[in-house]
Amino acid sequence: MATLTNGTWVLIADGEKAMFLRNDVDAMNPDLNVVRLEEQDNPSDYDQSANRPGRMGDTGVGQRSALDDTDWHELAKERFADELSEILYKQAHAKRFERIVLVAPPVVLGEMRDKLHQEVREKVVAEVDKTLTNHPLDKIEQLLHDELEAA
């Protein structure tokens, strides 16, 4: 069973925001405090796109097909997962934490999991697939306590 022992870090992230928290008490009465905040300016794909998707000729006379345009918003989310993974590696390498709980929506968790360095992976004690970036800290503490105690 993974618990929020004293000193355990918690990363709460979505595709655009991340909070690095540290539990300064124990598992029964978690007291999460902000260690670091990261935020990415990621406008909607519509706002980032410069033009319409391209078109190409088909084999038929006068036929043309649309090409998919790059989803800049989604690409930025993937890059944010890269950045978070790099931050975690640097913090783990500097021995800033020994245990960490990752909390993110399933897609973001998957992106991060693929990019985490082995040194960080060894310190992950739990993963929670929820979006908690806009919750107040006291609510996060209670939700994580309940989630990890039930596991």
* pLDDT tens per residue, range 34-76: 999 988 764 444 554 555 555 555 666 666 655 555 555 566 6
Domain residue limits, the chain: 9-43+71-150
Top mean-pLDDT range of 20-34, 46-60, 72-86? 20-34
**62's torsion region: left (phi>0), alpha (psi -120 to 50) or beta?**
left
Q: How far apart are CA 57 and CA 66, in angstroms?
A: 9
CA neighbor of 4 nearest in space, from 101, 93, 131: 101
Regarding beta strands 17-23 and 32-39, do their DSSP bridges make them parallel or antiparallel, or are they unpaired? antiparallel
Pick the CATH number of 9-43+71-150 from 3.90.1150.10, 3.20.20.140, 3.30.70.270, 3.30.420.60: 3.30.420.60
CA neighbor of 84 nearest in space, from 141, 23, 16, 4: 16
DSSP state of 70: P
